[in-house]
């Protein structure tokens, strides 16, 4: 995968990694590495070695052409073994003709196009990617996510909305980008690249609109598009402009044909039998009618004042009876 230079030209990130279901090849570390590098990891059915027959054939070539000579040399460490097998591999690939193509493996690989060749990131980055898992990040109201101390713009991600949760991983080839893990219609994972939000020394976004010069609104989310479609169906309009006009005119949805209180109007409540009870006792304040003591009071007025006072006492307190 890593570019080694010189005569050893074969390198690049594969698109598909087809392997047996061994624990090492389908482990979490291998899956994380393949996921972050965009490699589709496919494991065949257990106890079906014929599915990876080309691997078995490569192993047979190595045993017959290289390992057969190991009995004649002294190999004391792994570095010596790697040096010898590297020399053998480069010469074998350069001289042995492939049965199907009729060419050597380097000659066949040199026909690769720039669009097909995906160079691998440094070894240190791949080691970090192998042990890192996608992290869940929440989308804020500006359609951005925070990841590794930076903000990334996710407004272009299909189906994203405010407070949505996204799985984010590093982009091994560009530090200014991150990758959103998504699922396609086949149920397979793929990556959507998002750009870093670059800010100036004061913390403002460089490509933000400037006051008095330009303006730029956030794109509508899927929920907002669906709300606009629902409102058009409710008001019988064909575009958001017409919907806003009829809403401003206080038009009734559905032409007033929908009555939300119809069930209350059609409801027939039951008739309950009255319950017996006791009369409430009334407690009222005492009223008195007074005359100006400085004025002249005749005998008739004194009798009338006394008569009203006696009647009020009798009516409210029941102490004496009031006669006709």
pLDDT in tens, the chain (324 residues): 777 877 788 888 888 888 877 766 667 677 777 877 888 888 777 777 777 777 788 888 888 888 888 888 888 899 999 999 989 988 988 888 988 888 998 888 889 998 888 888 887 777 766 656 788 899 988 888 998 888 898 888 888 888 888 888 877 767 788 888 888 777 777 778 888 888 888 888 887 777 777 777 777 878 888 899 999 999 999 998 999 999 999 999 998 888 889 999 999 989 989 888 888 787 766 666 665 655 555 555 555 455 555 555 555 445 444 444
Q: How far apart are the first and last CA of the chain?
A: 123
At residue 148, the pLDDT reads 84
At residue 290, the pLDDT reads 64
Instruction: Give 71's DSSP letter.
Output: G
| CATH number for the domain whose boundaries are 16-123 | 3.30.420.10
C-alpha dihedral sign at 284, 289, 293, 294 = positive
Q: Residue 159: how many CA atoms within 13 Å on its side-chain side?
A: 8
Domain spans of the chain, in order of start: 16-123, 134-219, 222-256, 281-324
Instruction: Tell which residue, 34, 277, 253, 44, has the closest CA to residue 133.
Output: 34
User: Distance between CA 13 and CA 265 in Å, rounded?
Assistant: 71
Residue with tokens 């006009």: 245
User: Which residues in 181-216 are b (16+ Cβ under 10 Å) and which e?
Assistant: bbeeeeeeeebeebebbeeeeeeeeeeeeeeeeeee
Q: Residue 155, SS3?
A: coil
Tell me whether residue 18 is exposed, middle or buried, using C-beta atoms within 10 angstroms of its C-beta: 0 to 12, 13 to 18, 19 or more: middle
At residue 235, the pLDDT reads 92
């Amino acid at each position: 995968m890593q570019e080694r230079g010189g005569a050893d030209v074969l390198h690049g990130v594969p698109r598909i990694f087809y392997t047996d279901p061994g624990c090492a090849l389908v482990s979490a570390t291998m899956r994380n590495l393949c996921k972050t590098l965009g490699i589709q990891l496919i494991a065949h059915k257990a106890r079906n070695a014929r599915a990876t027959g080309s691997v078995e054939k490569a192993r047979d070539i190595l045993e017959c052409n290289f390992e057969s000579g190991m009995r004649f040399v002294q190999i004391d460490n792994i570095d010596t073994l790697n040096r010898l097998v590297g020399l053998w591999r480069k010469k074998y690939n350069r001289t042995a003709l492939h049965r199907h193509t009729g060419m050597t493996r380097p000659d066949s690989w040199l026909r690769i196009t720039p669009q097909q060749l995906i160079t691998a990131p440094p070894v240190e980055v791949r080691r970090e990617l192998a042990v890192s898992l996608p992290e869940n990040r929440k989308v804020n109201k500006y359609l951005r996510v925070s990841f590794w101390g930076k903000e990334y713009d996710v407004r272009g991600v299909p189906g994203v909305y405010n407070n949505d949760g996204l799985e984010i991983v590093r982009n091994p080839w560009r530090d200014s980008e991150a990758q959103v893990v998504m699922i396609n219609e086949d149920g397979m994972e793929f990556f959507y690249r998002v750009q870093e939000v670059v800010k100036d020394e004061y913390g403002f976004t460089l490509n933000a609109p400037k006051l008095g010069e330009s303006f730029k609104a956030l794109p509508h989310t899927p929920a907002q598009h669906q709300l606009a479609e629902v409102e058009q169906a409710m008001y019988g309009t064909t575009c958001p402009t017409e919907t806003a006009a009829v809403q401003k005119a206080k038009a009734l949805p559905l032409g007033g044909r929908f009555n939300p209180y119809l069930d209350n109007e059609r409801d027939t409540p039951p008739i309950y039998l009255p319950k017996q009870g006791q009369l409430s006792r009334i407690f009222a304040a005492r009223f008195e009618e007074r005359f100006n003591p400085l004025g002249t009071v005749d005998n008739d007025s004194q009798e009338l004042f006394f008569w009203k006072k006696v009647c009020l006492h009798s009516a409210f307190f029941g102490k004496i009876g009031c006669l006709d």
